[in-house]
Amino acid sequence: MKALLVYQNEELPSSRIRIIQMAPHLEAHGISCEVIRWPDRIGDKLALGRRAKGTDIVVLQKKLPAFLDAHLLSGAPLVFDYDDAIMFRDRPKNGSFDSRSRRIRFNRITRMSRGLIAGNRYLASFAPIDRVLIAPSPVPHEVPIKQHRETAKLRIGWVGLGKNLGALDMLRPVFAALDVTPVVISNQRYSGFPNEHVPWSLASQDELVAELDIGIMPLDADSPFTRGKCSYKLLQYFATGVPCIASPVGMNAEVIRPGENGLLASTTEEWIAAIRTMSSTEKRAAMGAAGRRDVETSYTYPVIAERWSQFLKACA
């Protein structure tokens, strides 16, 4: 079976995680993959349309084509993959996250598809067709593992793109009340509260995460876009054996089992209490180990790729 995997931009995490790094694992299940970037020039788009109609299955990752671009894929054996709430704006405009143009493009490309792969249940709820695979974004699991030890000051870290740094704003009073070291692993600096900035790089991110004592993932509960987040930060922390504290928003509330692999917190008081609970080395070690087991069982590339391969073969 031959598959054409089309991604947006190799610099986007979703393109790298769900397509570029996924392809070798699909190959292991008998799917011959050709991985290409969505073209910019009209001639290349026409060529893509012709190639799409001549392959067994086409996976388009999170791209919402305009009408004419989508028409080029009409009749192709298409599967659409999305791991964000791309039917909404990621930032409000005039107080609203609603976007008519995004909603129209999303409905158009998904109705053209034989099947959809959604990163979580919330995202799948927007599917206008019945054939949907819910498949989280997998994480590499052959990574450094945290060795939890007593520490005078907890290193509490967040990893992510600079455009998402605003999520940390809700934790300003939390870190003002605690004697800990906030660590921000990102391509940009964060100035909302004093922190240790660590420049992000793909080569070093796993080692950097494994140096944390606690990983965090605060989210805005009022945003329909953030409710679609696929908890990838949590899975990264879990893979290294680092326990997590997160807002109980969207998939976070499914991934974290409070008291077992992490804690959930909404208010400033709950965040402070959760961090104080994790001041115990034994609790951090136990929760981190539980999270690591969760990744090994449910979120590795071999596990998710097997589910993808079965679904793609069924859609071909």
Domains annotated on the chain, with CATH: 2-138+300-315 (3.40.50.2000), 155-298 (3.40.50.2000)
250 pLDDT band, cuts 50/70/90, is: very high
199 pLDDT band, cuts 50/70/90, is: very high
Place of tokens 């004093």: 194
Residue 309 backbone dihedrals phi, psi, to 5 degrees: -65, -40
Cβ contact 62:82 at 8 Å: yes
Tokens of 76: 């192709």
147 pLDDT band, cuts 50/70/90, is: very high
10 pLDDT band, cuts 50/70/90, is: very high
Predicted local distance difference test score (pLDDT) of residue 169:
97
173 pLDDT band, cuts 50/70/90, is: very high
Mean pLDDT value across residues 143-153: 95
On the CB side of 48, how many CA atoms lie within 13 Å of its CA? 27
Tens-digit pLDDT profile for residues 21-71: 999 999 999 999 999 999 999 999 999 999 999 999 999 999 999 999 999
Cα separation values, 294 from 139, 243, 260, 298, 306, Å: 11, 12, 11, 6, 17
Q: Is 181 helix (H, G, I), strand (E, B) or coil?
A: strand
Neighbours of 129 (CB within 10 A): 13
Q: Rounded to two decimals, what is the model's pTM?
A: 0.95
Tens-digit pLDDT profile for residues 220-249: 999 999 999 999 999 999 999 999 999 999
Cβ contact 214:157 at 8 Å: yes
Sign of CA dihedral 285, 290, 291, 296: positive
Tens-digit pLDDT profile for residues 252-289: 999 999 999 999 999 999 999 999 999 999 999 999 99
Rounded to an integer, what distance in angstroms lies between the CA atom of residue 231 and that of residue 261?
14
Beta strand extents in the chain (DSSP E only):
2-7, 32-37, 57-61, 78-82, 88-93, 96-98, 115-118, 132-134, 155-159, 181-186, 196-199, 214-217, 244-246, 262-264
Predicted local distance difference test score (pLDDT) of residue 229:
96
Predicted local distance difference test score (pLDDT) of residue 315:
98
